[in-house]
Every structure is written in structure tokens, then in C-alpha cells.
Structure 1
């Protein structure tokens, strides 16, 4: 569902890339503000033990559903594409490490047995999310927008679609033979990102994509299928499957 703020952004920004960046900033700011409000409720207000426990449970529920869903949509629509380019691959690894730390803090928050433990986990969680969003805004998104063959506005549409509970369209065949070499891997990783677990697409290439397979193994270790359907000499076809939606 498109919010009033997103409609305003779409109406006032004319450049597609700037508009996409503005939508991302809004989505991130919204989830961060909602998290901050729940952290205050669970840690800083003078609540009775019963009410504090209720606030803690509400914070955990928000994080387990809304926050992790937001991170998953960002990873699938943005990080997976950036992981396919040498310029942004290491940055994606850093951001995914932040996501893992956020998940650990949520688990700590869920098992916290004292007000001090709740406060420590909640504040660490908010700080991690803020740092992650700052890296996305100032480094990843501009770098992603500058990658050859990447349309940031399309990727942001994918983010909003996933956040609304939609399903990304899955390509059946991706023929990259006519795509310049520097643009191929982001396109391939973007197609992979659209797959649900158990789905696949056929990659058609004019050489054996062994380097691509190594990149997949580094980025999605043991989470993908790779089956040669045709092996040269002029055309290679590989069925790439998504075995897991993790990572």
C-alpha cells in the first residue's frame, strides 16, 4: 500500500533515481522511528513489572515480524544485486553481518530476564539498525545506482512490493550473451534474488560461467543449485536454483 509520504515523494521528485532514494530513506526512517518508540516504551518509562513485560513482548514481536521483514526485503531486492558486482560485494558482506548482529540482539531481547538486559539489548539493536541504514544511505545505494545496468527505481519497487506481501516475478530464461560483460553479474544476481526457495531460471551464456559459480558460492554458500544443461562450445546453459532464502 502506497503511503501519503510516498505519494508526496513521487509527486515532488522528477529524477527516477532521486525518487527511489527518497522512498528508501522514508521506508528506513519509518521502521527506525517505530523501533525507537517501542524501545522507549520497553526501557525508559516507569512501568510496573507486568506492563514492562508486555512492552518487552511487543518490542520482540515488532522486531521478529516488521523489522526482520524489512531487512529481508532490503536484502533480497538490493543486497542480492549489489553482491553480484565487485564494487559493492564486500560492502554487502558488511551489511549482512550487521543483519546477523541485529538478529542476535533480537534473540537476546526475547530471552532477557531483567530490566537491565532488556535495556542493553534494545539500545544495541537500535544502534545497529541506525548504523546499517547510514551505510545503506551514504554508501550502498549511491554505489548501486552507479552500477552499469542497474535501475535503482526498479529495485526500490521490488522492496515496496515485498514489504506489501507481494511476490516478485521470476524469470524463466536469462540470456546474457548480448549484455556487456560489466553488466552481466548484477543482472544475474538480481534475477536470482527474485526466486523463491525451490524456483530456478536458466542462464544462457557464451562461455562457461565458472567465475560466476565461485561468486555464488561465496555469496550464497550451499544455498543454490547449479546444473549444466548445455556445455559449449558456443553456448552454455545452466539451471540456477534457489535452495534457500537465507543469506
Structure 2
């Protein structure tokens, strides 16, 4: 059944689709960062430390504010629906678990010690947004007396207000404004564009054996590109990762170049027919 048939108005149908897509971006970026952490924890402690720091920053900047905004805007209205009341209470409990896992990540003495908590965080968040996508959001969208589009607008305003309060003692640059949690792709800090071919080449990569590998063949299609973006955001400058895809990922490579002009160079290591393996080097 199309999501368009599960909403009382076209505006709520569009809002439902946008919310589901945003959840996919968050879940994908989290998955990519966690996969990079797990891949590097035992092989490259220096890179793993950078990835671990970026993962906790992403959680503090995106996942936890997203959860808080839902509790402030979406959940009170959903809790008023008899068929959603117990579900919402359970989702609030899951928010507490997500917060506890992020705290455990932050307190871990080393990236290797945080691996189990990182993986648990990924699994819980994916299950959590699946419940929101499949149950809570459709119930809100179908209720004629409720405007899901209005609730999501309130969520975005709450996030913008919260970000302003957090940054009250630090001027907000244009880059920071773009990086607020409103469905945009986010990173810890601006990347200095230092050149690089930005296309297909064989320049300057480290030995493949020391590079983390991201195999997206088993990643759900809805999360695949966001997972790659999250993984790339976790790759420190001067290092690389190997991407394994089920086909030649030309549209993805175009998106990577559009998103990070001149930052990543690409070298094909294998070109099918079962898999395409590419080294993506961060300049």
C-alpha cells in the first residue's frame, strides 16, 4: 500500500515521506560510522580514535537532539491517540536506552572497548525508527484532526531553537547553520578543500590491507547511500576506505563528488561481475 493512501491530506502524505527519508539518513549515517569504527578498532587505533570521536559527536549533535525534539512535539500528540499510547511510552523508554548507550560510548577507555555499545546503538536505533515509520507516523498522518506536517514543522523549530541555545556563547557560522539536524547531511567540522582529482584515479592510497572495508551489498537500499556518506565522514584525512558494491556505483560517486568537491579520489580495485570494489581516498 502506498504511503499516499495512509494520510488524510496531501501535505501529511508528503510530511510522512520526508520523515521516513530523514530517518533513513540518520540510520544510514549512524550505520556507516559504526561500521568504520568496528573495522578500524583492531587494525588502526589512531584512525579508530578519530572515528570514535566523530561518532559520539554525531550522536550528540543529531541523534539525541532528534529524540528530544520528538518527545517535545510528536510524542505528546501521539500519546493522545488510544492506539498509540503504550507504543509511545515504550519509544520514550528506548530514548533513555539510546542516551545510555551514547554515554557508554563517550566513557569508553578506547575505541575497541566501545565496539559492543556502538553496535547495540545502531541496532536499537534502526528498530526504533522502524516503529516510528511503520506505526506512529502513519497513525498521526491518518488522523484527520491532526496535522503531521504541522507537528514536523514544530519539530524543526524546536531543533533550531535548541541549536541556538547550545551555541549561545559561540557565533553560528554559515557552515554550522547548514549542519543543524534538519535532514541535512552533517559533519563534525568544515573540511578544507585541498584539491584532489575527485574522480577515478589511482593516486596515493595506502595499502589495501590496512584500510577498512565497507560492504554495502547487504545494506537495505533505503539506507545504502546514507551509510556510505556516514562512513566517508568517518574516514580521517590522509586515509582511505574500500567500498564493496553490487554494481558500478556511478550515481553514488557523482553524489559523493557533489557533496565533497575534490575531497575524495576513487580507484577501481575490482569491476564485477559479482562485486565492484573501490578505494576512496580522503585527501
Secondary structure at 1:149 match in 2: coil
Cα deviation, 1:42-63, whole Å, max 9, x if unaligned, reads 2213653222112111111111
Whether contact under 8 Å (1:77, 1:155) holds in the other structure is yes
1:93-242, aligned counterparts within 5 Å?
A: 93-147=89-143, 149-165=145-161
Matched, 1:39 2:17: no
**Does structure 2 retain, via aligned residues, the 8 Å contact 1:23–1:156?**
no
RMSD, aligned α-carbons = 2.1
1:115 positional shift: 4.4
State which of 59, 62, 71 in structure 2 corresponds to 1:63: 59
Give the direction of change, closer, same or farther, for the CA distance of 1:55–1:160 in structure 2 (3 Å limit): same
Given that 2:73 and 2:155 are in contact with CA atoms closer than 8 Å, whether structure 1 keeps it comes out as: yes
Please identify runs of 4+ aligned residues in structure 1 that moved more than 6 A. none
What is the alpha-carbon distance in structure 2 between the residues aligned to residue 108 and residue 48 of structure 1? Answer: 21
Q: Does the Cα contact within 8 Å between 2:12 and 2:148 map onto a contact in 1?
A: yes
2:25 corresponding residue in structure 1: 30
TM-superposition CA deviations, 1:3-23 (whole Å, max 9, x none): xxxxxxxxxxx8212101111
Distance 2:73 2:39 in 1: 35
How far apart are residue 120 of structure 1 and its match? 0.5
Structure with greater contact order relative to length (CA < 8 Å, sep ≥ 6): 2
Give the distance between the partners of 1:166 and 1:56, measured in 2 at CA: 25
Q: Which runs of 5+ in 1 are unaligned?
A: 1-13, 168-247
For the Cα contact (< 8 Å) 1:88–1:144, is it kept in 2? no
Which runs of 5 or more structure 2 residues have no equivalent in the other structure? 1-8, 164-283
Aligned residues: 154
Tell me, in whole angstroms, the C-alpha distance in 2 between the residues paired with 1:161 and 1:23. 16
**SS at 2:14's partner residue?**
helix
- Cα drift, residue 163 of structure 1: 3.5
Distance 1:113 1:72 in 2: 27
Match of 2:271 in 1: none
Q: Corresponding residue for 2:259?
A: none
Q: TM-score, normalised by structure 1?
A: 0.57
Task: Summarize the Cα distance change of 1:162–1:30 in structure 2 as closer, same or farther, 3 Å threshold.
Answer: farther
| 144-153 or 101-110: bigger deviation | 144-153
- Give the whole-Å Cα distance in 1 for the aligned partners of 2:23 and 2:149: 16
CA deviation digits over 1:150-183, x for unaligned, max 9?
A: 111111222233334479xxxxxxxxxxxxxxxx
Residues 36 and 126 in structure 1, CA contact (< 8 A), matched pair in contact too: yes
Q: How far off its partner does 1:102 sit?
A: 0.6
